[in-house]
Structure 1
Amino acid sequence: MSAENYTWDKRIEFIVRYMYDIDNNGFLDSKDFECMALRATIIEGKGDCSEKRLAEYNNIMKSLWGELSDLADFDKDGMITTDEFKEAVRKTCVGKKYDEFPKAMKAFIEANFKIMDINSDGVIGVDEFRYNAIQRLATNNIKIIDDAFNALLNEKDKAEGGLTLSRYQELYGDFLGKQDFNPAVFLFGPLAVED
């Protein structure tokens, strides 16, 4: 897997395109975050849509949208372009540890962990990682997904059977906050499929 596919710019573009821009219109707006709340509720509930959990996710996503709007909607048009998002992440995350990230972003990251932890055992294992990655990735080769997962793991992760919440937070912090090529670049699987 080529390091050029994992530059900081490409990682941030990936976050916008595949994780936040739910309606694929090329920019972020409040509708994307409302859709993320429903999506998170249904995925976490394995098809069930708990009104209580939906309300919690709506609060998380509304806070995240408000915080991102304040940080990134520079022209105050109600839309955040990829370039605006990059600049906001650069200002709030680059060179910082996870604990220094904005509160709403940390809440989103923790919610994302819960969504990925399908069996709710507190660890994202290879099967859960595969399930999450394949939703965004067009590939016929499971090995590249497994290689990405294994690249994330340190010895403690291997003993745990995968990624705990604290390790996921650390890796997410590195994904956004470090501009170099590091293991965290594989947090969402391979970002590009090579022939």
Structure 2
Amino acid sequence: MADDNFFRHKHLFIFLKQWDVDCDGVLSSEDFDLLAQRFAVYQRHGKFEKDVVDRWRQIVGGWWSNFTGAADANQDKSITFEEWLAFFNNLAQTTKSHTELPDFLKMYLKISFTYIDFNKDGMFDIRDYRMLLASSNGDLRRADAAFDSMLTEAEKKKGTLSSDRYYELMYDFWTSKNPNSPGRYICGIYDYLPKEKLDHYHQLLTGK
């Protein structure tokens, strides 16, 4: 794998850690059902309430329908890692900002911001970022430096990111191939994994 192919590195990380909930190497309707349950339980502060779960299943099921329509090239009702990359490569070529994303991704961004705003103050700060890393067994030793790298000079004075800036950084994460892009750590600190391990993950997922 070429050293400059950080785009694949980044999406390999988010693919394995956040969307592929059952960790079977492909995205499926089962993963999105588990995501719906996760959001529902989070909304109800740890309680599993069927009516809430059903509402989330309707929302997230719509995401899955839209996602497969756009990314499932061979129409086998699953999304492989290569199809995942192709989807975001296409986004990078056809959009210029998060405002041009498909509606289901815009909704995902809004919900995910609510999810990671742990103290519910409408902003994303270093405390929220540490909680995000802790929830995914991330490297807390690098939290401050990683978070600081995402802030503009003006934002450093307050130490917070607004929801709009979060959307911008997520868009950057999804579409930029620059290994030093501002959004590279927005979903966590992924590059602690050695290149060889990322190559190994890719081989497991693609057979290449």
Tell me the TM-score normalised to structure 1 length. Answer: 0.86
Q: Distance in 1 between matches of 2:134 and 2:80?
A: 26
> Gapped runs of 5+ residues in structure 2?
195-208
Aligned length: 190
Runs of 4+ in 1 over 4 A off after TM superposition: 49-53
Match of 2:134 in 1: 134
Q: Is the 8 A contact 2:138 2:189 kept in 1?
A: no
Q: Is the 8 A contact 1:44 1:118 kept in 2?
A: no
Moved more, 15-24 or 86-95: 86-95
Q: Distance in 2 between matches of 1:6 and 1:115?
A: 30
Q: Is the 8 A contact 1:93 1:101 kept in 2?
A: no
Q: Distance in 1 between matches of 2:156 and 2:91?
A: 31
CA change 1:53–1:93 in 2 (3 A) is farther
- Give the match's secondary structure for 1:108: helix
| From 134, 147, 150, the counterpart of 2:148 | 150
Task: Quote how far apart the aligned CAs of 1:96 are.
Answer: 2.4
Q: Distance in 1 between matches of 2:4 and 2:47?
A: 36
Please list the CA deviations of residues 21-65 of structure 1 after superposition, one character each: whole Å capped at 9, or x if unmatched.
000000000110111111122234432446565444323311211
Q: Distance in 2 between matches of 1:133 and 1:6?
A: 24
Higher gyration radius (CA): 2
Match of 2:169 in 1: 171
Match of 2:68 in 1: 69
Q: Distance in 2 between matches of 1:28 and 1:91?
A: 18
Task: Quote how far apart the aligned CAs of 1:189 are.
Answer: 2.1
Task: Quote how far apart the aligned CAs of 1:92 are.
Answer: 2.3
CA change 1:42–1:5 in 2 (3 A) is farther
Aligned-residue sequence identity (percent) comes to 24
Q: Is the 8 A contact 1:109 1:169 kept in 2?
A: yes
Tell me the TM-score normalised to structure 2 length. Answer: 0.81
Moved more, 53-62 or 117-126: 53-62
Task: Quote how far apart the aligned CAs of 1:143 are.
Answer: 2.5
CA change 1:152–1:108 in 2 (3 A) is same
Q: Distance in 1 between matches of 2:120 and 2:4?
A: 32
Residue 9 (1) aligns with residue 8 (2):
yes
Q: Distance in 1 between matches of 2:127 and 2:17?
A: 20
Moved more, 52-61 or 84-93: 52-61
Task: Quote how far apart the aligned CAs of 1:145 are.
Answer: 2.0
